[in-house]
Copies of this chain bind each other. A is one copy, B any other.
Amino acid sequence: MYLAKILITLRKSILDPQGKAVRHALQSLKLSGIEEVRIGKFIEIKISSKNKKEAEKIAEEACKKLLANPVMENYTFSIEELPA
């Protein structure tokens, strides 16, 4: 069993109004030094596959076909093996 940890972030050129709202909220809580906030997704998928290579292929396909919007988002992931 493998665990894919997937990070999905907005591309740099895309405005992030949710991040802007969070920045304002943090500033009104008197937290100093907050310059920019960007919000993305973190997705964990447990994959049962023969080996790590295959788990990578499945995670890649999941990102491409469903999880990330290629026009607006980037994705990266890492795969780790779970103890049986």
A-side interface residues toward B, CB under 8 Å?
1, 7-9, 19, 22, 25-26, 29, 31-49, 54-55, 58, 61-62, 65-67
Contacts and interface: CB of A to CB of B under 8 A. Distances in A.
A58 B38 CA distance: 16
A37 B41 contact: no
Contacts of A67: 22
A44 B38 contact: yes
Nearest to A23: B45
Given A25-B66, A62-B26, A66-B22, A39 B43 contact: yes
24 contacts: A7-B42, A8-B42, A9-B42, A9-B44, A26-B66, A29-B65, A31-B61, A31-B65, A32-B49, A32-B58, A33-B47, A33-B54, A33-B55, A35-B45, A35-B46, A36-B44, A37-B43, A39-B41, A39-B43, A39-B44, A40-B41, A41-B41, A41-B42, A42-B42
